[in-house]
């Protein structure tokens, strides 16, 4: 069904061109094209346009997600804020409100904890290795928050499609699992190349692609007397 609908526009164009060529074909002792024939062609063309319009609404689209499109200047601003996060972390500072618009809180966890030591364990560090930030508190539990930087592909914000990692506490070991992989399909609509080449708009041949691949931050609040083993950044 989807293949048939995909080739309908091609069939329509072929039939239309065939009808026009047939109408203009010279015949002996007859005018090239009379008034009646002209009305027939125009009427047929109108009917074809109506049918094609109706068929366009029947295209089998399983999931159609309209994403907000961002300009390159907006993406550059977000990238600049995300870059500044690393500088703050290296100075022992991390305030969520300072990175509003560039960093999203995805998920949070809480675990009672009475051990004297804590070890971080990444299940697959080659595929997922977030920046782990640790703040020492007076609480008798471990609190965790997963932040992700804005993910933008070709100007479309897809941050909401990013999954959160899994976190499990096994005695004194905090096990961090990879987020689930997500498949996102993109489609863009634009005017025909024959129009764009004269309108001054970017065409398929000179389209500029831009985006950001979001950063991963796991912010942990740990009891202050716990000895920590692993790669992390202490913050205040």
Q: How far apart are CA 70 and CA 211, in angstroms?
A: 9
Higher pLDDT, 49 or 159: 159
Side by side, the strands of the sheet bearing 211-212 are 156-157, 152-153, 211-212
SS3 content of the chain, % helix, strand, coil (to 5): 35, 25, 40
Q: How far apart are CA 37 and CA 44, in angstroms?
A: 10
Side by side, the strands of the sheet bearing 216-223 are 103-112, 141-149, 216-223, 131-137, 233-234
Give residue 109's Cα distance to chain centre.
Answer: 26
90-142 tens-digit pLDDT:
888 888 878 877 888 999 999 999 899 999 988 888 788 888 999 999 988 99
63-104 tens-digit pLDDT:
444 556 788 888 888 888 888 888 888 888 888 878 877 888
Q: Which residues of 92-116 are buried (b: 16+ CB within 10 A; e: fewer)?
A: eebeeeebeebbbebeebeeebeee
Half-sphere exposure of 31 (CA within 13 A, CB side): 6
The two three-digit tokens of residue 50, written as one number: 């109506």
Contact yes or no for 118/171 (Cβ under 8 A): no
pLDDT for position 141: 93
Query: DSSP E strands: which ranges in the chain?
Result: 103-112, 117-122, 131-137, 141-149, 152-153, 156-157, 166-170, 173-177, 211-212, 216-223, 227-229, 233-234
């Amino acid at each position: 069904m989807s293949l048939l609908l995909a080739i309908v526009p091609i069939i329509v164009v072929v039939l239309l061109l065939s009808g026009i060529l047939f109408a203009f074909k010279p015949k002996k002792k007859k005018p090239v094209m009379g008034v009646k024939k002209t009305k027939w062609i125009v009427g047929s063309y109108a009917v074809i346009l109506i049918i094609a319009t109706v068929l366009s609404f029947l295209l089998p689209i399983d999931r159609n997600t309209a994403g907000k499109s961002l300009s390159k200047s907006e993406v550059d601003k977000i990238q600049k804020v995300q870059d500044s996060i690393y500088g703050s972390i290296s100075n022992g500072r991390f305030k969520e409100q300072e990175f509003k618009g560039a960093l999203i809180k995805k998920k949070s966890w809480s675990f009672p904890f009475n051990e004297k030591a804590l070890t971080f364990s990444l299940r697959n560090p080659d595929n997922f290795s977030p920046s782990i930030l640790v703040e020492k508190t007076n609480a008798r539990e471990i609190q965790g928050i997963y932040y992700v930087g804005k993910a933008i592909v070709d100007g479309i914000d897809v941050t909401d499609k990013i999954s959160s990692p899994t976190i499990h506490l096994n005695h004194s070991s905090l096990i961090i699992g990879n987020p689930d992989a997500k498949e996102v399909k993109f489609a863009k609509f634009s005017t025909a190349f024959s129009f764009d080449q004269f309108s001054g708009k970017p065409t398929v041949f000179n389209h500029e692609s831009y985006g950001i691949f979001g950063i991963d931050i796991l912010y942990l609040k740990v009891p202050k007397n716990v000895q920590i083993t692993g790669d992390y950044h202490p913050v205040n």
